[in-house]
Amino acid sequence: MSTPSNSSASSSQSDTTAARSCKISASPHDALPSAAGKKPAPPCTLVIFGAGGDLTRRLLMPALYNLAVDGLLDDGMKIIGVNHGERATSEWVEDLHTSLQQFAADKASTFHAGKLDDNAWNWVAQRLEYMAGEFESDDTFAQLKQKLAQQHSGNVIFYLAVGARFFKPIVERLGKTGLLKEGDEANGGFRHLVIEKPFGTDVTSARDLNAHILTYASEAQVYRIDHFLGKDTVQSILAVRFANALFEPIWRREYIDCVQITAAETIGVEGRGSFYEQTGAFRDMVPNHLFQLLGMVAMEPPNSFDAEAVRDKKAELSDAIQPLTRHDVVFGQYEKGPAGPGYREEPDVAPDSTTETYAAARVFVENWRWAGVPFYLRTGKRLAARRTEISVQLKPVPFRLFRDTPVDALTPNVLTLRIDPAHGTSFDFNVKMPGPVMQVGAVQSSFDYNDFFAEQANVGYETLLYDCMLGDETLFQRADSIETSWCSVDEVLHPKTGGPIEVHGYAAGSEGPTQADALLARDGHAWRPLQRDAVGKK
């Protein structure tokens, strides 16, 4: 988010295209040219716990490669991968290289860079080192401390790309070994701790985890990461809201009828049945990803883009969310349908499972700006289309002017912010159709990022890793916001009356359970169809 101000290495000025081509003949140890207007992050050592995992292969290494292509990593960068199991560094590096080549060649992959740039990859590969170690062994951290003492830079980022059960033991051993102690550049530098979701499974576990972490590290050292916030299209929400006089004055209850936030997937649980059985769609997506999008849409304007100014406004918004009850949510589970088998037929799923693969919620924000405006959230597996977007529907105009014309209803004005897989915005509005009779037709004005900006390979972690190196916490969650979000859904997760919330079936490949339609219908609203043409109709 922020523009870097400090660097130990100078950066050459070149445009983005030139930076991505990286046509250099220098040795792998020479600095790569940086993107225009930006300098490399400070030198640091990135320690990745879980170096052999899927997150490292699919997201962290592609993001580091892209940062190297853009010249945003300092020449003093070092990456130490920690994982159980002995293996040579060369073997680990070769495995990562093979994976990157496969992802780059796959147009359906998030990382679709095409052919890898050999100079950029060699630059990264020269800085990789594998270290075998168990995450709950004191010997691992003693060995790590010795390695870090040999690094030129005292700046270290510890990235916990591991299962949630390892968060506590790793943080505790880092703290007790003194590896989280910060100092000046000569005596320790910064020590940042990056923690992936799930950050707790409810408010009690989130508070417990926060308390444990803050025993060994300060809040300023902790970077709770949500990859949704690393997407350019998510960050662009603030630009759309606050940089345009067309939208900023109407972004309030007087003009907005409702807001819909959708994160729909066509895939199923993809072999992660055992994980999903313990989590479910609501826990996995609503209190974190969807609430983060809600925060970007609904937060008050900060005085600046300073990290704490932005996070203060997000915290205020989280605190204003009215706690959800069982009457505000609908759960669903996909059954056999046009898109394939049902959830209960997936591997590692109980044959009588009641885990939800779909969740819809009606949320109200109790503050001056949004009082009375419903925010409808939905997420699910095996739905009719892959679509992550935010639709802001304006209040209708009076129909009186058209009472004597053949106009039954006007198409709602809807501003849609498309996050994934298409990137851009669209606006639905009404015009007069050609002809002698006053007939109103729906049209759409749209903007696609690829029409205006050069496409860049981006997995969503580039900005987050870069900001972490810079010490910019704008896009990372604070302890109070996480705990408040869990508080807002506690009654849904642990109903005090009525037993567990009912889970309704829906056909794989459909729009979701019909009960979710009824959730909106009682307010006089309807979901935007997942499968629709340019003006939002089926």
Residues recognised as catalytic: 289
At residue 67, φ and ψ (nearest 5 deg) are: -65, -35
Asked if 473 and 307 touch (Cβ cutoff 8 Å), the reply is yes
Query: 3-state class of 468 per DSSP?
Result: helix
Residue whose token pair is 């706690």: 323
Determine the Cα angle at 36 with ends 425 and 421, to 5°. 25
Query: Degrees (nearest 5) of the Cα angle 372, 263, 413?
Result: 50
Interatomic CA distance for residues 464 and 459, integer angstroms: 11
- Helices and strands (DSSP H and E) totals, the chain: 17, 17
Q: Name the token pair of 183.
A: 């100092």
Q: Tell me if 318 sits within 8 A of 302, measured CB to CB.
A: no
Structure tokens at 401: 């002017």
Estimate to the nearest angstrom the gap between the alpha carbon of 224 and the chain centroid. 11
The DSSP letter of residue 245 is T
Is the bond preceding residue 421 a cis peptide, omega within 30 degrees?
yes
Which distant-in-sequence residues (6+ apart) come within 8 Å of 348 by Cβ? 271, 273, 274, 277
Please return the burial class of 243, using the count of CB atoms within 10 Å of its CB with bins 0-12, 13-18 and 19+.
exposed
Nearest CA to 166 out of 128, 112, 209, 203 is that of 209
Contacts 24+ apart (CB under 8 A), 208-214: 209/167, 209/168, 210/479, 210/482, 210/483, 212/168, 212/171, 212/172, 213/167, 213/171, 214/479
Neighbours of 98 (CB within 10 A): 11
CA–CA distances in Å: residue 354 to residues 135, 263, 280, 332: 33, 21, 9, 9
